């Protein structure tokens, strides 16, 4: 019996390596290292993939969140409602502008921002709502969109884990006023390093971010405001466009793996499986289960040769960086239950039948013995 890695990027990258080697040479010879035609070509392709009018390539997903906030005029004195259960970058994008993150709890079944709690958190200072399509599962954008339209708020999607997920037939990235993607190597669509983008249907937002990412230049050496150096590099545009051609197949494989897990583990005692109402709404960036005694469970799986992860062990409002907001334990009961019991099982397109069977057998053996 071999070991099952949590993630295996080597197989995926080897698939496209022959395709990109020659193009790398052309990129180097033409010295198209920053932005350039490879980035523009990917921007056009990814905008079309999302059904959005614009895609603006950036240096990472954290920057994408920051730029989207700035492009909508969010700054000191404003509040942005978001989820406590996510990677920290979700909230960095708010904090970098000087705005205040306001957290509301998540839904039990989806792990995403609970729309029923959003309305009660809106104040006269609220400027935007920032849901996360966590683990690759599209948030309830229809309900959130109605709230935002009724209250005059901006809706910005954190789609860093959800490339290709759909909500009521539309691809995430085309539904909110803007959407922010990460192309970190381990994402469903990953670059050969750090990279990200913002998608939007707004000409003004797109123009603003394109200006901000390039030192706020309006014409060479004419800097119209405080700008940033957040441009996507040419190599990432090249790699991402080549990988984009495979994304539909990889997503289908992830869904098949998730279906296998769900079918094979539905009756294991003590195991709480993820749920989704619509298969197209989930692209299974992560397959997260809830278990009792997480540390003991992970140690047992490790001994059985199965690698696991935790996403995420500490709610963002309880991080030391946000202690000044004065949130306290008990403020987010659903999030706190999830954070104490969540475990991510191996999930990547290249998982073999044998590897999946080994994961299921290990989970069953561990929990059935307790």
Alpha helices in the chain (DSSP H): 9-29, 36-50, 61-71, 89-95, 115-121, 141-151, 203-213, 234-244, 247-265, 294-303, 333-341, 353-368
Burial (CB count within 10 angstroms: exposed 0-12, middle 13-18, buried 19+), residue 77? exposed
Q: CATH number for the domain including 150?
A: 3.40.640.10
Which residues lie below 8 Å from residue 261, measured CB to CB, with a gap of 6+? 273, 287, 345, 356, 359, 360
Same domain (yes/no): 22, 41:
yes
Sheet holding 54-58, edge to edge: 54-58, 196-200, 178-182, 154-158, 126-130, 79-82, 100-103
Same domain (yes/no): 223, 361:
no
β-pairing verdict for 166-167 and 287-290: unpaired
Helix (H, G, I), strand (E, B) or coil at 309: strand
Total tally of structural domains belonging to the chain: 2
Q: What is the pLDDT of residue 252?
A: 98
Task: Look over the chain and give the mean of its residue pLDDT values, rounded to a whole number.
Answer: 96
Q: What is the pLDDT of residue 290?
A: 98
Of 220, 244, 268, the position where a domain reaches its end is 244
Give the residue from 180, 231, 209 showing the smallest Cα distance to 72: 209
Is 1 part of a structural domain of the chain?
A: no
Which residues lie below 8 Å from residue 190, measured CB to CB, with a gap of 6+? 9, 12, 183, 184, 243
Provide mean pLDDT across the span 70-94. 98
Same domain (yes/no): 267, 177:
no
What is the per-residue DSSP string for 251-290?
HHHHHHHHHHHHHHHTT-TT-B----SSGGGB--S-EEEE
Is 4 part of a structural domain of the chain?
A: no
CA distances from 312 to 70, 335, 341, 364 (A): 27, 10, 10, 23
Same domain (yes/no): 156, 267:
no
Same domain (yes/no): 69, 175:
yes
Is 318 part of a structural domain of the chain?
A: yes
Q: What is the pLDDT of residue 21?
A: 84
Helix (H, G, I), strand (E, B) or coil at 133: coil
Contact 289, 342 (CB under 8 A): yes
Q: Is the pLDDT of residue 219 over 90?
A: no
Provide mean pLDDT across the span 339-347. 97
Is 3 part of a structural domain of the chain?
A: no
**Rounded (5°) CA angle 207-203-226:** 25
Of 221, 244, 267, the position where a domain reaches its end is 244
Is 69 part of a structural domain of the chain?
A: yes
Q: How many residues does the chain have?
A: 370
Q: What domain range includes position 284?
A: 248-368
**Rounded (5°) CA angle 68-131-249:** 90
Provide mean pLDDT across the span 61-78. 98
Measured between alpha carbons, how far is 370 from 366 in angstroms, rounded to an integer?
A: 7
Between residues 307 and 33, the one the model is more confident about: 307
Same domain (yes/no): 236, 324:
no
Tell me the per-residue pLDDT of 176-204, one tens digit each, with 9 for 90 and over.
999 999 999 999 999 999 999 999 999 99
| DSSP-assigned letter for residue 192 | S
Alpha helices in 73-140 (DSSP H): 89-95, 115-121
Q: Is the pLDDT of residue 18 over 90?
A: no
Give me the helix-helix angle, 234-244 and 36-50, nearest 10°. Answer: 40
Dihedrals phi, psi of 304, to nearest 5 degrees: -90, 5
Same domain (yes/no): 219, 330:
no
pLDDT above 70 as % of the chain: 100
Same domain (yes/no): 42, 190:
yes
Q: CATH number for the domain including 307?
A: 3.90.1150.10
Of 215, 244, 273, the position where a domain reaches its end is 244
Q: Is the pLDDT of residue 1 over 80?
A: no
pTM of the prediction?
Answer: 0.95
Same domain (yes/no): 227, 346:
no
Which residues lie below 8 Å from residue 99, measured CB to CB, with a gap of 6+? 69, 74, 75, 76, 77, 78, 79, 80, 127
| DSSP-assigned letter for residue 106 | B
Is 323 part of a structural domain of the chain?
A: yes
Dihedrals phi, psi of 107, to nearest 5 degrees: -75, 145
Tell me the per-residue pLDDT of 268-307, one tens digit each, with 9 for 90 and over.
999 999 999 899 999 999 999 999 999 999 999 999 999 9
- Position 216 confidence tier, pLDDT thresholds 50, 70, 90: very high
CB count in 10 Å sphere of residue 47: 21
Same domain (yes/no): 84, 176:
yes
Same domain (yes/no): 218, 166:
yes
Same domain (yes/no): 226, 340:
no
Measured between alpha carbons, how far is 139 from 143 in angstroms, rounded to an integer?
A: 9
Q: What is the pLDDT of residue 154?
A: 98
Q: What is the pLDDT of residue 125?
A: 98
- Residues 65, 66, 71, 76, CA torsion sign: positive
Is 2 part of a structural domain of the chain?
A: no
């Amino acid at each position: 019996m071999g070991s099952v890695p949590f993630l295996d990027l080597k197989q995926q990258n080897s698939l496209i390596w022959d395709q990109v080697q020659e193009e790398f040479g052309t990129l180097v010879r033409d010295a198209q290292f920053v932005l350039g035609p490879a980035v523009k070509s990917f921007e056009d392709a990814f905008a079309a993939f999302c059904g959005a009018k614009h895609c603006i390539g950036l240096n990472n997903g954290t920057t994408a969140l920051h730029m989207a906030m700035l492009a909508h005029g969010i700054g000191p004195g404003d509040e942005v409602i978001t989820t406590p259960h996510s990677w920290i970058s979700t909230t960095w994008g708010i904090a970098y502008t000087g705005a205040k993150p306001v957290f509301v709890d998540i839904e039990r079944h989806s792990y995403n921002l609970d729309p029923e709690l959003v309305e009660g958190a809106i104040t006269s200072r609220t400027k935007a709502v920032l849901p996360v399509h966590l683990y690759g599962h599209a948030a309830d954008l229809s309900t959130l969109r109605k709230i935002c339209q009724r209250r005059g708020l901006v809706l910005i999607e954190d789609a860093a884990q959800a490339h290709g997920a759909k909500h009521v037939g539309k691809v995430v990235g085309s539904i909110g006023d803007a959407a922010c993607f990460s192309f970190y190597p381990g994402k469903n669509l990953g670059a050969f390093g750090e990279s990200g983008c913002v998608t939007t249907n707004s000409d003004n937002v797109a123009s603003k971010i394109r200006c901000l990412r390039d030192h706020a230049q309006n014409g060479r050496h004419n800097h119209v405001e405080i700008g940033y150096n957040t441009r996507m590099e040419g190599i990432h545009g090249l790699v991402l466009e080549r990988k984009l051609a495979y994304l539909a197949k990889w997503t289908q494989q992830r869904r098949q793996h998730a279906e296998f897990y769900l079918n094979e583990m539905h009756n294991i005692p003590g195991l709480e499986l993820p749920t989704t109402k619509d298969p197209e709404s989930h692209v299974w960036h992560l397959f997260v289960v809830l278990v009792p005694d997480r540390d003991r469970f992970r140690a047992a799986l490790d001994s059985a040769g199965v690698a696991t992860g935790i996403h995420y062990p500490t709610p963002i409002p309880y991080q030391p960086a946000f202690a000044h907001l004065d949130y306290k334990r008990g403020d987010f009961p659903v999030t706190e239950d999830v954070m104490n019991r969540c475990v991510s099982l191996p999930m990547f397109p290249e998982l073999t039948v044998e590897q999946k069977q080994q994961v299921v057998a290990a989970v069953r053996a561990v929990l059935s013995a307790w």
